[in-house]
Amino acid sequence: VSTQSTGSSGINAEYGEVVQTVSRFKKTAYSGFVRRDGKLLVAGSEDNSVQVFEVGTRSILRQFAGHARAVHVTRFDESDIHVLTGSDDKTVRCWDLSTAAEVLCMRGHED
């Protein structure tokens, strides 16, 4: 994953190549992660936000709100229907991709 001042590049985990660069964040973006089908990219930001983008158009499909500090880790789960996020607010959260609703919040992680 490549982090830029206001953007994030999604990396194809299998081949290690840049799939898409998105520059739609107000502050530094972190942890761009591309879904296995290559259609969606999720990234967290220094401004506490998490956004899901359509890779082909770079349009924002979902935004998740709930973290109180920067979001450094983002992933799609194995089923590709949830987004997992980790933040400096010491929470790891699970979000429903179709509704943007928070499904689970685990508090107290140390790193």
Q: What is the pLDDT of residues 56-103, one digit of tens each?
A: 888 999 999 999 999 999 999 999 999 999 999 999 999 999 999 999
Residue 14, both tokens: 């299998």
Q: Which residue has the higher pLDDT, 63 or 109?
A: 63
Distances in whole angstroms, Cα of residue 85 to Cα of each of 22, 72, 91, 106: 18, 8, 8, 10
How far is it, in rounded angstroms, from Cα 8 to Cα 98?
22
Q: Are 8 and 2 in contact (CB under 8 A)?
A: yes
Q: Which amino acid is at 107?
A: R
- Average pLDDT value over all residues in the chain: 82
